[in-house]
Amino acid sequence: MLTVDQALDIILRSVKDVCHESIGLDRACGRILAEDVIADSDLPPFDRARMDGYALRSEDTTQAPVTLRLIGEVAAGASFNGSVARGEAVKIFTGAPVPDGADAVQKIEVTERDGATVTIKEPAVSGQFITPHASEIRTGDVAAARGREIGPAEMAVLASFGYASVRVARMPRVAVLSTGDELVDVSEKPTGAEIRSSNGFTISSYASRAGAQAETLGIVRDTLEGTVKALETASLGRDIVITSGGVSMGDYDLVKAALTSIGAELYFDKVSIRPGKPTVFARRGETYFFGLPGNPVSTSVTFNVFVRPAIKKMLGAADVSLPAITACAARDIKDGSSRRSFLPAGVFVRNTRLMAEPLKWGGSSDLVAFMKANGLIVVPEDVHEISGGADIQVMLLNPF
C-alpha cells in the first residue's frame, strides 16, 4: 500500500499544466499568474514623502527648535520647481516628491507655522520620513513571479505596472459525481436508510476555492452500466472527474470496475491514510479521475491532501499543498492507526502561542463536527501518542 507521500508524488508527476489565456485585469483576482510581472518603472519614481510636514535640510535642525523660511509647498501629484537652501523649508504632503536640496521631512505634529516661517521643534535626521527613489523596485525587476496567486495586493502591483491584461492559467474544468443508491437530492426528504447527497457540494466548493471551474453532475446509481456511462459523459471536455463513494471493496463499489471498463489507467486504489484509505487515482487520455471515499470527512481530507495539489499543479501554482504550520498540541493526542492520520482540529492562539486541539468527532461520517475544524493535525505513520505541549504539524483548512 502506498504512503501518502508516494501517492502524492505519483499524482504530481502525472498531472500536466493546463494552457494559458489572457484576461482583463478586472477579472484577474484569484487566478494564477502564467507570466512574470515586470516593473516598467522605478518605484517610487522619486524620493517620496511618507508624512505630511516640511521638507528641509536636516543639518538646519540640529539645534532645534529652529525657525525656517517657507519657500513654497508641494502636494502629491505635483512637483516643486526650485531647491531648498540653507535655512529654508517647503511644506509637503504625503506621497509628494521631495524637493532638491532637502534630505529629510519633519512631521507636522512637531512644527508650528507662523505666516512665511515655520518653527521646527525637534531635530530631523537625514532620510527621515522619506522613501528613497527606486527603493521598492527598479525598472526591469520581477515584481510578481509566475505561479503566484493574484490577490488584492497583486492587483495593485499589476495595475501599477500597466498590466491592463495579464496571462493566467486556464481554470481546470472539473466534474463531480456522487455515487450510491442511498442518496437523494438535497431537496428531498430522506426515508428509511436514505441520506441527502452532500459530498458533491463539498467537493465542488473545494475545487472552486482551489481555482477550478467545477460542475456538480448529480447522483450515480449503483450499477456498473450507469457508472460507466456517467464517467464517460463527465470526462468529455473536462480535466478532472471526481467521484465520491463506490471505491471500497463491497458489491456496490463500482468505480474501479467502471474506470477499467472505459480504458482508464489505474495508478493506485488505496493509500496508507486515515481517514480515506480507499482513494483511487486514474487517467484516460487528458482526463484525470479521483475516486474519493463516500464518508464526508474522508471526502474532505482526501480532496485536500490529493486533489487540491493536482488542481494547483495544473494551474502552475508555486505552492500546491495546503499551508502547513507548526503548532503546540493543546492536549494529549492518541491515535491507534499505523497510517498517517489527519485529525480535524481547531487552531487558535492562546497567550501568544499557536495551539491546535483535535475536535471531538464521531468518525469519518461526522460532517457537523468537521464543519468546526479549521485545520488538520498530521499524525505521522506509526505514531500512536503525542503529548500535550509538543510541537505538531497542522494543515490549515481555513484562516483562524
SS3 111: strand
What's the CATH number of domain 21-41+148-169, 3.90.105.10, 3.40.630.30, 3.40.50.1820, 3.40.1710.10? Answer: 3.90.105.10
What per-residue string of b and e applies to 181-202 under the rule 16 or more CB within 10 Å gives b? ebbbeeeeeeeeeeeebebbeb
pLDDT over 90 (residue 298): yes
Mean residue pLDDT across the chain = 94
Q: Which CATH architecture describes the domain 4-17+170-314?
A: 3-Layer(aba) Sandwich (3.40)
pLDDT of residue 264: 97
pLDDT over 60 (residue 222): yes
In whole angstroms, give the CA distance from residue 298 to residue 276: 5
Closest among 169, 210, 397 to 312, alpha carbons compared: 210
Prediction pTM value? 0.87
pLDDT of residue 400: 61
73 vs 193, more confident: 73
pLDDT over 60 (residue 252): no
Task: Dump pLDDT digits (tens) for 340-363.
Answer: 999 999 999 999 999 999 998 766
Domain 324-396 has CATH 3.50.50.60: no
pLDDT of residue 251: 59
Give the three cell numbers for residue 222. 449503483
Domain 48-131 has CATH 2.60.40.3500: no
399 vs 297, more confident: 297
pLDDT over 80 (residue 276): yes
pLDDT of residue 370: 86
Please state the domain extents for the chain.
4-17+170-314, 21-41+148-169, 48-131, 324-396
Same fold for the domain at 48-131 and the one at 324-396? no
